[in-house]
Copies of this chain bind each other. A is one copy, B any other.
Amino acid sequence: MKNKSITSRDEDFAKWYTDVVQAAHLAAYSNVKGCIVMEPNGYAIWEKIQKTLDEMFKETGHQNICMPLLIPENLMRKESDLINGFAPEVAWVTKGGEKDLDERMCIRPTSETLFSDYYSTIVKSYRDLPVKYNQWCNVLRWEKETRPFLRSREFLWQEGHTIHETSEEAEQETRLMLDIYRKFFEEYLAIPVITGKKTEKEKFAGAEYTLTVEAMMYNGVSLQSGTSHYFGQKFSKAYNIKFLDRNNEWQYAYQTSWGVSTRMIGGLIMVHSDDNGLVLPPKIAPKQVIIIPIKESETVSAYVSTLEKDLKDKGLTVSVDHSDKSAGFKFAEAEVNGIPVRIEVGDRDLQEGKITLVRRDTREKIEVAKESDISSKVIELLDTIQKDMYDRAKERREEFTYEAHNYSEVEKIMNNHPGFVKAMWCGDPECELKMKEIKGTKSRCILENEKPIDDKCVVCGKPAKHLVVWDIQY
């Protein structure tokens, strides 16, 4: 029983993606060009992501804050790399009320400028450091194309900004946050990721260096899924974040920033979902279990309400579909919405002493005795689903991870089935550009702790400096 509103994933991946987004009511296109409406099913996933990550941030000593939405132009211009990087894609407010503004303001594309300006006012001594703040907010970048969750003018994210006494401490923070992202992707989103350093060309405008979390989608294409930047003293010099150090001398603070966005929801879809709609890992699914009564007899109703209570008492998020739609319709709806476990309860089954659990990820049906310890079985099943989803994604990633030793090998791979191509690089941006000619292949990251696989650059053949993962990207 294939969902008819969804194009086959293997036939047309891009169309399949938008079909899933719409069929599962995650987002809708809006009449505001370039912007989407995040519908309840989509926003509920974001709420779950927020809650989980927010706890991880707070456990590691971060606090939330709220900075203004608008940035006056002169404030934006203080750090030249940043404004050069973002100028082509910001929206400008030039009129407030009925008056032209003396100075135009942009809607934040990111908030390094505002945080830096604020930090310069609150830090005086090394005793005031570190400052580790984060904000959950909307940002805006004037993109030309719109793909729900992947690329839209406005999106939601979190941006952490910290300042420290020493470079060592700031660099530790940069790595700590990368590690939190990795953990979150692997343990909650069931998405295996690689982490590493961006090349100079691909790093964030204004950063000394950028660390990144990269995930491979079902079709082999890479999604940059989270970044953690080390700024050194670049912003603190531009924005005058100075403090008296332990020797009573003025020093500029060392700074970091790091962020993940609603783009992760796009990643979730493109890694796990299938031709029947959304598939969500149980740890991030807003609704983990749905009970579907097949015709509401007294016996069925009584059994269902006891079961619902029992599952809720165990801390699961459960709902019961009491609507008057047909059972088949309800099954398909639960499926398209990606609810990890569906429980079917029917009169005949109950008479035979059983009910049916259905896994969303494999669509496997499991009959269990109606008098058995259902809630323990469901909890176990959710754990299995979470683990299996991660394992399957990892297997697939390994299937499409390659090694290449020369340019034509890369061409062959990318023309066959794109994926992560490990290949050596000399460090010359020209070679990076040359790779781009292969269907837009870009460096994803420099792998820092893996052994070199060759001693020559995959493009020019000169001595290699770095082992790099290459892929095309969203």
Contact = CB atoms under 8 A, between A and B. Distances in A.
Contacts of A68: 30, 32, 35-37, 154
A117 B44 CA distance: 22
A96 B91 contact: yes
Contact of A30 (B33, B95, B118, B138): B118
A156 interface: yes
Contacts of A87: 98
A184 interface: no
A295 to B, nearest CB: 20
Given A37-B65, A44-B64, A97-B142, A154 B30 contact: no
A31 B72 contact: yes
Interface in A80-97: 87-97
A302 interface: no
Nearest to A47: B64
A138 B46 CA distance: 17
A178 interface: no
Interface in A416-455: none
Contacts of A94: 92-95
A326 to B, nearest CB: 15
Given A90-B97, A107-B93, A43 B64 contact: yes
Interface in A6-56: 28, 30-33, 35-40, 43-44, 46-47
Given A94-B92, A94-B95, A95-B91, A107 B69 contact: yes
A67 interface: yes
A289 interface: no
A68 B148 CA distance: 13
A333 to B, nearest CB: 14
A40 B92 contact: no
Chain A interface bracket (under 10, 10 to 19, 20 to 34, 35 or more): 35 or more
Nearest to A95: B92
A30 B121 CA distance: 10
Contact of A67 (B37, B91, B95, B153): B37
Contacts of A72: 31-33
A316 interface: no
A34 to B, nearest CB: 9
A223 interface: no
Contact of A40 (B38, B63, B88, B154): B63
A43 to B, nearest CB: 5
A332 interface: no
A154 B35 contact: no
Given A88-B97, A92-B93, A105-B32, A70 B154 contact: yes
A368 interface: no
A137 interface: yes
Contacts of A67: 30, 37
Given A43-B65, A44-B63, 18 more contacts: A28-B122, A31-B72, A31-B75, A33-B72, A35-B68, A35-B69, A36-B68, A37-B65, A37-B118, A46-B66, A68-B154, A70-B91, A91-B95, A93-B93, A96-B142, A97-B142, A107-B107, A137-B138
Interface of A: 28, 30-33, 35-40, 43-44, 46-47, 63-72, 75, 87-98, 104-105, 107, 114, 117-118, 121-122, 133, 137-138, 140, 142, 153-154, 156
17 contacts: A28-B118, A31-B75, A33-B72, A37-B67, A37-B114, A37-B118, A38-B65, A38-B66, A44-B64, A68-B154, A69-B107, A69-B140, A70-B140, A91-B95, A91-B96, A92-B96, A107-B107
The 4 closest A-B pairs by CB, nearest first: A35-B68, A38-B66, A40-B63, A92-B95
